[in-house]
Amino acid sequence: MESKEGRKKEILIVDDEPSILKLLNFILSAEYTLIIKTSGIEAIAWLEEGNDPDLIISDLMMPYFDGSSMIRNLKISGFYRNTPVILLSGAEDLEEKVKEMPFKIDRFIEKPFNPNTLKSHITELLA
């Protein structure tokens, strides 16, 4: 999917599981420019360099700086308040965890996930 400027839309993917990163790269790289980070710390550092992705896909449970902490910091900063976020997680009671978060998550998807469902959510959020 291309933006109005004619470039591929950019998706920041934050996950510490190599198998998930390979899967996401396989199903999304033809349509989107993917920036892959393996921790919330790496993702925040990349964003602080002035990068502005069109969408963020993040795992919830990661070591050191989890997805919830990373997204909270992004939403509080104001710069990424309107950047759509898809949360991927294998956590039990994911829907309850999302409801308890003090910030907006645009979509949440439980692992393992259907690639077509993920692509559909991405298309909707980037429209």
pLDDT tens profile 58-97: 998 887 777 788 888 888 887 888 999 999 887 677 677 7
pLDDT level of residue 46 (50, 70, 90 thresholds)? very high
Which tokens is 66 given?
Answer: 């989890």
pTM for this prediction: 0.89
Q: Calculate mean pLDDT across residues 42-63.
A: 92
pLDDT tens profile 3-44: 556 789 999 999 999 999 999 999 999 999 999 999 999 999
Q: Report, in this order, helix, strand and coil percent for the chain, each rounded to 5.
A: 40, 20, 40
Which tokens is 23 given?
Answer: 């899967």
Residue 123, CA distances (Å) to 18, 24, 26, 65, 90 in order: 24, 15, 17, 28, 23
